[in-house]
Structure 1
């Protein structure tokens, strides 16, 4: 599987997006303690259609013009991470959840730190 990458600025900071097979597999806010590192070289592909769509949808979202994303997602992670990420997609627009609430929503109320790490 070829992994494509691009970087761009957003209101929440500089983002790194990764894609494979026309789907977003990861989106990171850069500048944290543990920046993502490739297991294999990433192919810099800023004009890849999925990245153009991602930029457009995020621009609309941050401008208050989009409430639902249509971009195809295929995040790569453990079953636990997949459950945590799926729970994020079920939070209604304009609402927030604590890590504890998210952990409870996936049936793992004691896994607050693991949910935080997954996010």
Structure 2
């Protein structure tokens, strides 16, 4: 894939995320989460090309983003080692709960919601 093709796929994925973000309910929530956390890097583009459903990409991206954000929060945490440990544990718990809710929402989605979530992020060719 050349640079132009890669740029076109990334632009198409961003446009699709914006379109899906306006949707009501679970589909919109997942797309908004994806838009907030999904870095369109080489891994993501590879998943797009393979046709991986966006809910799976978003769940993985959310986990990666939560990990990075938790690390960032730890870096901002208090200097005292005991306070820092409590802060880190609280941040980890918060992100684990958020990710668990996203996974639960995916697992408990109705067939229609699952079908909507399975729309890939790039246009079909």
- Same topology, TM > 0.5: no
Of Structure 1 and Structure 2, which has the larger fraction of its residues in helix? 2
Q: Which has the higher contact order (CA 8 A, sep 6+)?
A: 2
Of Structure 1 and Structure 2, which has the larger fraction of its residues in strand? 1
Q: Could you tell me the TM-score, scaled by structure 2's length?
A: 0.26
